[in-house]
């Protein structure tokens, strides 16, 4: 019990997503409400995969 615990942060892996850019909520909402004309309820019920699929359909490679 003498070693560092995982709660003190020493030797613990970084928080998932640490250093990643923040999610672009304003752009996602503009796309969902504007381009797709979703209601607020429909937009917030989307899964990330559904939102990604809608984006890919509108903006294919």
Q: What is the pTM of this model?
A: 0.64
pLDDT band, residue 4 (cuts 50/70/90): low
DSSP letter (8 states) at residue 2:
-
From residue 12, how far is each of 3, 16, 42, 47 by CA, in Å? 13, 11, 38, 30
Mean of the pLDDT values across residues 5-19? 64
SS3 61: coil
Contact (Cβ atoms closer than 8 angstroms) between residue 6 and residue 12: yes
Mean of the pLDDT values across residues 54-59? 93
Determine the Cα–Cα distance for residues 10 and 19; give it in Å rounded to an integer. 18
Question: For 4-8, 25-29, 47-51, 54-58, which range has the lowest pLDDT when averaged over its residues?
Answer: 4-8
Most confident of 13-17, 28-32, 57-61: 28-32
DSSP letter (8 states) at residue 6:
G
The residue count of the chain comes to 61
């Amino acid at each position: 019990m003498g070693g560092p615990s995982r709660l003190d942060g020493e030797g613990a892996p970084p928080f998932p997503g640490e250093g990643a850019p923040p999610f672009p909520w304003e752009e996602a909402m503009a796309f969902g409400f504007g381009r797709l004309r979703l209601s607020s309820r429909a937009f917030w019920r989307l899964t990330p995969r559904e939102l990604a699929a809608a984006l890919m359909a509108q903006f294919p490679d």
